Amino acid sequence: MSTLNSSTYPDLQDHLQTLKQRGLLQVVDRPIDKDSELHPLVRWQFVGGMDERERKAFLFTNIVNAQGRRYDMSVVVGALAANREIYSVGMGAPVEDIQKRWDQAIAHPVPPKKVEQAVCQEVVHLGDDLLGEGKGLDMLPIPVSTPGFDSSPTLTATNVITKDPETGVQNMGTYRCALKASDRMVVRMATRVGGAGGYLHYQAWKKAGHKSMPCAVVLGCPPYVAFMGPQKLPIGVDEFDVAGGLAGAPIEIVQARTVALNVPAQAEIVIEGLIDLEFLEPEAPFGESHGHVALEEFNLPMKITAITHRLKPVIPSYLSQVAPSESSVIKRVAYEPLFLSHLKNNLSIRGVQRVSLHEPLTGLLRVTIITMEHNTPKTEVWRALYGAAFFKGDCGKICIAVNDDIDPDNSDALMWAMAYRMNPVEDVQTLAHRGQGHGPKRENDGEEDSTLLMDATMKSAMPPLALPTREYMERSRQIWEELGLPKLRPQAPWFGYTLGDWLPQWDQAAKRAATGQYLENGLISAKHVRNDVKAESKFRPDEA
């Protein structure tokens, strides 16, 4: 444990030290531009033909922005799940035992322990310290995730804490937060059915007649706590209790300085503030985890009231966007055992050996492969297909049952099984009335989807592929090679390009973001705040 950490569980910096000892951390000490080089550099280990085992976490210790300003904080990408081995280090268990750890933690939660002093509050910024260039949010070296498309630096590796206004039960979710000014950002919480617990709190605070909702955005939690954000737990479950179950000890929490919320005492940075319950502000474009760029929508403005942090904090950032990514590894390791347990234990289906969520490009949500024992009765195969298709509303659009001689991660093997082992007349069913789920199309537009549709061609213009554009990837590849990193084996697609639904205004906003001028984008979006629309309502600057 670090000298600052009095707990019995590792914090982020302890975790990074373990990764370094195990050869899973790449430290980059040369200057790296956070706006146009940082994420593209790490992206190469996902699109450069490298095996998953070769991926590492990247710790950047010499951060600059596109305008040459230097930062005294470090940034780490891939620290939780650049590959499954890194995830297992954070969980303190082999990959095959992770689901058991989750089950035990949920069944045997440990309530948190309140402390009076915490390392996350060694430095406190209030009032005028939050205002102006180089202050507040603008002092933080937050990367641009998808240079060439994103309109602002965006917090991604977040644990966003809100609470129910009646019960006081807190929720912790991972939501993107776009920087707009030194004391303002816009938070995107999923409004879809089965979406964000934080958005349910937003609705409850608004219904109760409040003008704002307290919120704390935490960066760099101890791994046991950080894993709570992406994990889907039942509504009303306090994630600190489950994190304590994982740690086998109470998670230390402390009262935030300016809002009535409890935050992890061993966090790196805590951003406190109030979410506006009256007005919404345009946010994005941003390369999302479904693999396309999320276009501008109205989302939740947050006024910053305090920023607290350690003396020498490390800021984590998720590599998400097109899968495979850190985001998809986190979800895959957590979701696949859940699917298998559901089919075998809850539905008692015979012959199910494995459930695999297809990761590259589809990002786990659209294609589910179920491995069945040979000679499993046809009724059990179909029960497995139905069970997988409807276990989660946003997963299982295409479900494929195969035998154990087919590697579910080998697309050629899957095509072979479909070509020679499937009679489309007898062995294919299409099921109507499926929601769009998380993707470039949304169910709040009223457009339905279906299950087991095989036609995957593009029928209409779509947002760009969520990878940094070619110029930034080529620029970062030169740095990659100068650093003497492993030989790249690029596989298409390795850069982002438009698929039709993209405006010149977004192009200009992305160029400003990639050259450190995101604050100008914040001034532009501030002119379009409205109080007569729902969160995630689409916004197109060409129609404004």
pLDDT for 269 = 98
Are the C-beta atoms of residues 304 and 257 closer than 8 Å to each other?
no
pLDDT for 441 = 62
pLDDT for 443 = 45
Reduced 3-state DSSP string for 36-76: CCHHHHHHHHHHCCCCHHHCCEEEECCEECCCCCECCCEEE
pLDDT for 429 = 85
Q: What is the CATH number of the domain that holds 442?
A: 3.40.1670.10
115 and 245 fall within a common domain:
yes
pLDDT for 99 = 79
Instruction: Report if residue 66 sits inside a domain.
Output: yes
Nearest to 196 by CA among 187, 208, 186: 187
| Alpha carbon 185 to chain centroid, angstroms | 17
Compute the distance between CA of residue 182 and CA of residue 159 in angstroms, rounded to an integer: 20
Q: Residue 399: which residues within 8 A CB-CB, separation 6 or more? A: 367, 368, 369, 370, 385, 388, 389, 451, 452
pLDDT for 459 = 35
48 and 139 fall within a common domain:
yes
Are the C-beta atoms of residues 170 and 161 closer than 8 Å to each other?
yes
Number of domains comprising the chain: 2
Looking from the CA of 478 toward its CB, the CA atoms found within 13 Å total: 7
pLDDT for 361 = 61
Amino acid at 248: G
Are the C-beta atoms of residues 328 and 364 closer than 8 Å to each other?
yes
Q: 334: domain range? A: 329-451
Instruction: Report if residue 231 sits inside a domain.
Output: yes
Looking at 451, 480, 500, the residue that finishes a domain is 451
311 and 434 fall within a common domain:
no
Backbone angles phi, psi at 130, to 5 degrees: -100, -5
Are the C-beta atoms of residues 143 and 76 closer than 8 Å to each other?
no
User: Mean pLDDT per segment of 10 residues, for the chain of length 544 residues?
Assistant: 62 97 98 98 92 94 97 97 93 87 88 96 98 98 97 97 95 95 96 79 96 98 89 75 94 98 98 98 91 93 98 94 79 81 91 86 77 87 87 81 84 81 84 70 64 47 84 95 92 78 94 96 96 94 86
Looking at 387, 417, 451, the residue that finishes a domain is 451
Q: What is the C-alpha R_g of the chain?
A: 23
Strands 57-60 and 25-28: parallel
Instruction: Report if residue 459 sits inside a domain.
Output: no
